């Protein structure tokens, strides 16, 4: 047992003394969260828009005020004629133009039917979509208040409610994604590199010719990264809750338990990779290609998997991160309990057991 503990201690020393790696390990998750939270966002804020208000009545004024007041829009120009619209877009100054036709209020009151035109610059279709949606929902809100005032019955309203994330904050989506990514990277890549480094340095030869069981070598190599991962999870969760206002709606212990499970999954992949490569560079590259990229692409946090062709959807099923991402969303954001994630958990457990079995069996007790 002492053998084993000494080995674990040695591994910690290696990590501690390699300041570059340490820096990445500790700071990377923090940086990612900060970046995603404050800088990179697929939310659209303060988009510059222009208004062509041909009515200029009470109704249009109220709507325009509301739009300008929202944090999504910034009205920078009032146009005076239709002809200016194209020129304004050409100049690239605005992403959207809202057009209120003449007699807007009148139409609304008397025919219960009025039109507003939203013209968006769709060269970035996603943003255009988002902007028109934002605008529509503001307009709908107004419509509702009108309805209340006028007390008119039989109005069919499309109510849009955004569940769990009414403000449509991007953070709710990417925090689980970042957790999956960071764990996968830290555990798999770092672990595989740590094991292979021993091979590269030549010390693996010496350790093998000792009473130390190879099994214990692997476990000793993985424990430090297990602990570092826990640290990372803690820091991500703390940042999410206190800096980004993403609450932990569900059971914290369940969340941590699932995270530990996923950590072990990633560690097993790391061990598997280390069995088949000879240099740290190869370990890093393999981890990047076979783990980081698939996690980024197929876990669902950047791109919805349901929108992908069937073949890719099937592939996404073997990416462990996908299942973890679902679990975290269910537990952390939706606040659901184990009864809703048992399927995904079971899948992860199965994957982990399989991977561990293979990687430990394949661990080479000789050099060839």
Partner 1 sequence: MEHAIIVEHIEKNYRSKKTGVQALKDISFTVNAGEIFGLIGPDGAGKTSLFRILTTLLLADKGKASVDGFDVQDNYKEIRCRVGYMPGRFSLYPDLSVEENLEFFASIFNTTIQENYELIKDIYVQIEPFKKRKAGQLSGGMKQKLALCCALIHKPSVLFLDEPTTGVDAVSRKEFWEMLHRLKDQGITILVSTSYMDEAGLCDRVALIQKGELLTVNTPKGIIAEFKGPLWAVKAKEMFRLLDAISSDPQVESCYPFGQYHHVVFKVRGGEEGKLRQIFQAGHFNEVEVHPIEANIEDCFMSLMKD
H or E, element range at 100: strand 96-100
Torsion angles phi and psi, residue 363, rounded to 5: -60, 130
Min dist. Cβ of residue 316 to partner 1 (A)? 37
Nearest residue (CB) to partner 1, 17 versus 113: 17
In angstroms, the Cα distances linking 38 to 32, 139, 171, 294, 355 are: 10, 28, 9, 25, 37
Min dist. Cβ of residue 363 to partner 1 (A)? 14
Nearest residue (CB) to partner 1, 207 versus 288: 207
End-to-end CA distance of the chain: 28
- Interacting residues with partner 1 (CB under 8 A): 2-3, 6-7, 10, 13-14, 17-18, 201-203, 205-212, 366-368
Nearest residue (CB) to partner 1, 1 versus 311: 1
Q: How far apart (Å, rounded) are the C-alpha atoms in residues 247 and 255?
A: 13
Nearest residue (CB) to partner 1, 44 versus 196: 196
Min dist. Cβ of residue 19 to partner 1 (A)? 10
Neighbours of 34 (CB within 10 A): 15
Min dist. Cβ of residue 17 to partner 1 (A)? 5
Min dist. Cβ of residue 23 to partner 1 (A)? 15
Nearest residue (CB) to partner 1, 212 versus 219: 212
Pairing of strands 47-53, 117-120: unpaired
DSSP sequence for 249-318: -S-HHHHHHHHHHHHHHHHHHHHHHHHH-SSHHHHHHHHIIIIIHHHHHHSSSSS-GGGS-HHHHHHHTT
Nearest residue (CB) to partner 1, 7 versus 285: 7
Min dist. Cβ of residue 188 to partner 1 (A)? 23
Min dist. Cβ of residue 251 to partner 1 (A)? 41
Longest dimension (CA), the chain: 92
Q: How far apart (Å, rounded) are the C-alpha atoms in residues 171 and 285?
A: 29
DSSP sequence for 106-133: HHHHHHS----EEEE-TTSHHHHHHHHH
Nearest residue (CB) to partner 1, 37 versus 224: 224
């Amino acid at each position: 047992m002492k053998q084993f503990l000494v080995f674990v201690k040695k591994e910690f020393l290696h990590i501690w003394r390699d300041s570059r790696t340490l820096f990445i390990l500790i700071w990377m998750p923090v940086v990612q969260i900060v970046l995603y939270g404050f800088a990179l966002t697929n939310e659209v804020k303060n988009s510059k828009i222009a208004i062509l208000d041909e009515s200029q009545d009470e109704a249009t004024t109220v709507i325009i005020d509301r739009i300008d007041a929202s944090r999504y829009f910034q009205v920078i120009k009032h146009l005076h004629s239709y002809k200016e619209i194209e020129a304004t877009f050409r100049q690239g100054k605005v992403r959207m133009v809202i057009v209120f036709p003449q007699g807007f209020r009148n139409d609304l009151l008397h025919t219960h039917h009025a039109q507003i035109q939203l013209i968006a610059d769709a060269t970035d279709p996603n943003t255009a979509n988002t902007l028109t949606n934002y605008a529509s929902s503001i307009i709908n809100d107004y419509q509702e208040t009108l309805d209340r005032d006028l007390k008119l019955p039989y109005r069919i309203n499309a109510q849009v409610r955004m569940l769990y994330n009414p403000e449509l904050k991007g953070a709710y989506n990417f925090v689980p994604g970042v957790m999956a990514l960071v764990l996968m990277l830290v555990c798999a890549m770092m672990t595989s590199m740590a094991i292979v480094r021993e091979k590269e340095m030549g010390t693996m030869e010496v350790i093998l010719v000792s009473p130390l069981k190879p099994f214990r070598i692997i476990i000793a190599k993985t424990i430090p990264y297990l602990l570092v991962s826990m640290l990372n999870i803690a820091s991500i969760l703390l940042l999410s809750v206190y800096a980004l206002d993403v609450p932990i709606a569900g059971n914290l212990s369940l969340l941590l338990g699932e995270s530990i499970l996923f950590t072990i999954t990633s560690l097993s992949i790391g061990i598997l990779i280390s069995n088949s490569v000879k240099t740290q560079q190869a370990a890093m590259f393999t981890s990047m290609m076979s783990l980081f990229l698939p996690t980024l692409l197929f876990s669902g946090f950047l791109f919805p998997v349901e929108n992908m062709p069937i073949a890719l959807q099937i592939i996404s099923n073997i990416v462990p991160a996908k299942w973890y991402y679902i679990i975290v969303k269910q537990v952390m954001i939706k606040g659901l309990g184990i009864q809703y994630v048992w399927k995904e958990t079971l899948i992860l457990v199965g994957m982990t057991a399989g991977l561990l079995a293979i990687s430990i069996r394949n661990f080479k007790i000789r050099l060839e």
